[in-house]
């Protein structure tokens, strides 16, 4: 039998009697699969494996502890033979053929009337792979396809809504708040990528993995609600309303955000509004730029001997509440416009003017740029080179660890891995 001789189909065996001849590992796997399909399974074998005995003891299938008889195929819809004895399997297959019953012969795939594919289930999608009678090859291909569906590399989005999926009282979709990371499409989580691939509507920020938007199907609605400092064309209350309205229309909505939705991303407000309006909401954590973008420049927010803790703030007003010590890292988000005021506030609180400061623009992107200076010099440096958002500012001794730090910053060996090749534009005092 060649693969071209196969007509792929799927059997609906719910409530129908099927026969498994044999009780070894292969028969046990096939019996479990048939049970999962809702079939009424009878196993015929003189001796049963522990796995099959457990299924029998639990009342999930019927085990006949004897040798096979030709009459065993009478009245069944499907037969699986896997005794490990070719002469027995051949007899079972012949008896099934005589009664025009489909039979899988595990001993001889070439002459078998049916093949059992390698199967995986992702959501409500079932993947079945036949590979020319090579089960290991089929399993490898099945696993690769399942992984691609899990990660969103293959489209898992529903195109046809089943009538049973909704009723008049429950005609609503869902919202997923997905943290997309700092911008590189490889830094979104597997769960986030998968939900994005299933989305009917994507409500997206200016930041985050925008390259992934190009992979969406043409009929996916993309709604831009991105903000820039001082310019919010779509106010937050309107974003909240869009999420709920689109979900109540029956759509799977993804709110794609840069970084993490719960780290200075107003995700908590959006989730609360959805729940208040009866919309199911899922929060998918993202790689926050507060930690990941400094790491892109080789700057850890904590480092043994340098810093045991860190604070994340968005403006100079909060700086009075954080420790003004070089051994406590301060991470400023959206802080470029107030950098001079923030530096002055930290200095006034007692942080030395010589404290290292690093600014990382466009973290992980090809135009990433790192500017390193001190608390006393960084505002002038940033202004001179035109530092602009999106940028993350790191203040503290951990900046000394960066491979971009000037030699006089390094008071000991703070070795790090080689930075990404894209990280080439550096400004220092």
CA angle 157, 158, 159 (to 5 degrees): 115
- Among 95, 205, 260, 397, the active-site one is 205
CA angle 402, 323, 307 (to 5 degrees): 35
Mean pLDDT, residues 290-302: 93
Mean pLDDT, residues 40-47: 95
Residue 429 has pLDDT above 80, yes or no: no
Contact 87, 107 (CB under 8 A): no
Residue 391 has pLDDT above 90, yes or no: yes
Token digits for 230?
């001082």
161 part of a folded domain:
no
Residue 187 has pLDDT above 50, yes or no: yes
159 part of a folded domain:
no
Q: Residue 207: which of 292, 277, 276 has the closest Cα?
A: 292
421 is catalytic: no
Mean pLDDT, residues 354-372: 93
Least confident of 71-75, 155-159, 241-245: 155-159
Placement of tokens 């690093």 in the chain: 358
For residue 317, name the pLDDT band (cuts at 50, 70, 90): low
CA angle 242, 248, 251 (to 5 degrees): 85
Compare 413 and 23 and report the one with higher pLDDT. Answer: 23
15 part of a folded domain:
yes
pLDDT at 227: 67
Residue 232 has pLDDT above 70, yes or no: no
Residue 1 has pLDDT above 70, yes or no: no
Q: Are residues 264 and 339 in the same domain?
A: no
Residue 165 has pLDDT above 70, yes or no: no
Mean pLDDT, residues 371-375: 95
Q: Are residues 199 and 135 in the same domain?
A: no
Q: Are residues 272 and 352 in the same domain?
A: no
- Among 108, 143, 153, 227, the active-site one is 227
Token digits for 210?
């925008």
218 part of a folded domain:
yes
Buried b (16+ CB within 10 A) or exposed e, 312-348: bbeebeebeebbbbbebbbbbbbbbebbeebbbbbee
pLDDT at 128: 84
Range of 245's domain?
171-287
Does this model's pTM top 0.85? My answer is: no
Can you name the residues that pair with 174 across neighbouring β-strands?
252, 280
Q: Are residues 126 and 109 in the same domain?
A: no
166 part of a folded domain:
no
For residue 315, name the pLDDT band (cuts at 50, 70, 90): low
Question: What string of DSSP letters covers 58-78?
Answer: TTSSEEE-S---GGGGTT-SE
Overall number of domains in the chain? 4
Residue 147 has pLDDT above 90, yes or no: no
Q: Which residues contact 390 (CB under 8 A, 6 or more apart)?
A: 183, 207, 258, 289, 361, 362, 363
Q: Are residues 10 and 25 in the same domain?
A: yes
CATH number at residue 110: 3.40.50.720
Mean pLDDT, residues 187-199: 91
Residue 375 has pLDDT above 70, yes or no: yes
pLDDT at 168: 42
CATH number at residue 388: 3.30.950.10
Q: Are residues 43 and 67 in the same domain?
A: yes
Contact 127, 138 (CB under 8 A): no
pLDDT at 423: 40
Residue 361 has pLDDT above 80, yes or no: yes
205 is catalytic: yes
- 238: three-class secondary structure by DSSP: helix
Mean pLDDT of the chain: 86
Token digits for 13?
């065996």
pLDDT in tens, 31-41: 999 999 999 99
Question: What string of DSSP letters covers 359-414?
Answer: EEESTTSTT-EEEEEETTTHHHHHHHHT--SSEEEEESGGGGGSTTS-GGG-SS--
CATH number at residue 188: 3.40.1010.10
204 part of a folded domain:
yes
Q: Are residues 22 and 89 in the same domain?
A: yes
pLDDT at 132: 74
pLDDT at 159: 67
Per DSSP bridges, beta strands 369-374 and 425-427 are parallel
pLDDT at 4: 63
Compare 404 and 410 and report the one with higher pLDDT. Answer: 404
Q: For residues 301 and 306, what is the distance between their CA atoms, to the nearest angstrom? A: 10
Mean pLDDT, residues 391-418: 79
Residue 179 parent element (H or E): strand 174-179
Q: Are residues 95 and 221 in the same domain?
A: no
Residue 241 has pLDDT above 70, yes or no: yes
Q: Residue 152: which of 206, 205, 209 has the closest Cα?
A: 209
Q: For residues 295 and 187, what is the distance between their CA atoms, to the nearest angstrom? A: 13
78 part of a folded domain:
yes
pLDDT at 183: 82
> How many percent of the chain have pLDDT more than 70?
90
Q: What is the DSSP letter of 303?
A: B
162 part of a folded domain:
no
Residue 51 has pLDDT above 80, yes or no: yes
pLDDT in tens, 339-349: 999 999 999 98
């Amino acid at each position: 039998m060649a693969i071209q001789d196969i007509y792929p189909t799927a059997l609906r065996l719910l409530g129908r009697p099927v026969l498994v001849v044999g009780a070894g590992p292969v028969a046990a796997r096939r019996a479990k699969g048939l049970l999962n399909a809702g079939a009424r399974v009878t196993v015929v074998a003189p001796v049963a494996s522990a796995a099959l005995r457990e299924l029998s003891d639990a009342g999930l299938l019927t085990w006949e502890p004897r040798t096979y008889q030709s009459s065993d195929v009478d009245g069944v819809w499907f037969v699986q033979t896997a005794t490990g004895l070719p002469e027995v399997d051949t007899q079972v297959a012949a008896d099934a053929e005589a009664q025009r019953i489909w039979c899988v012969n595990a001993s001889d795939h070439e002459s078998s009337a049916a093949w059992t594919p390698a199967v995986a289930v992702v959501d409500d999608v079932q993947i079945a792979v036949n590979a020319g009678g090579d089960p290991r090859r089929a399993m490898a291909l099945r696993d690769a396809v399942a992984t691609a569906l899990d990660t969103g590399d293959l489209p898992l989005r529903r195109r046809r809504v089943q009538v049973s999926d909704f009723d008049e009282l429950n005609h609503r979709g869902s919202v997923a708040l997905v943290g997309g990371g700092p911008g590189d499409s490889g830094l979104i989580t597997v769960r986030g990528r998968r939900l994005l691939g299933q989305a009917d509507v994507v409500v997206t920020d200016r930041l985050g993995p925008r390259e992934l938007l190009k992979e969406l199907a043409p009929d996916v609605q993309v709604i831009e609600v991105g903000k820039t400092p001082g310019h919010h064309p779509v106010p937050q209350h309107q974003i909240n309303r869009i999420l709920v309205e689109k979900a109540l229309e029956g759509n799977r909505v993804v709110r794609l955000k840069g970084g993490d939705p719960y780290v200075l991303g107003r995700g908590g407000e959006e989730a609360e509004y959805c729940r208040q309006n009866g919309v199911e909401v899922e929060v998918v954590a993202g790689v926050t730029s507060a930690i990941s973008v400094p790491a892109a420049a080789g700057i850890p927010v904590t480092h043994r001997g340098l810093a045991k803790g860190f604070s994340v703030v968005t403006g100079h007003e909060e700086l009075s509440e954080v420790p003004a010590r070089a051994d406590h890292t301060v991470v400023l988000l959206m802080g470029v416009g107030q950098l001079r005021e923030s530096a002055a506030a930290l200095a006034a609180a007692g942080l030395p003017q010589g404290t290292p400061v690093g600014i990382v623009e466009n973290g992980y992107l090809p135009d990433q740029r790192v500017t390193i200076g001190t608390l006393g010099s960084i505002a002038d440096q940033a202004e001179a080179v035109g530092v602009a958002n999106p940028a993350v500012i790191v203040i503290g001794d951990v900046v000394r660890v960066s491979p971009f730090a000037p030699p006089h910053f390094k008071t000991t060996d703070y070795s790090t891995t080689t930075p990404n090749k894209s990280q080439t534009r550096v400004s220092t005092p």
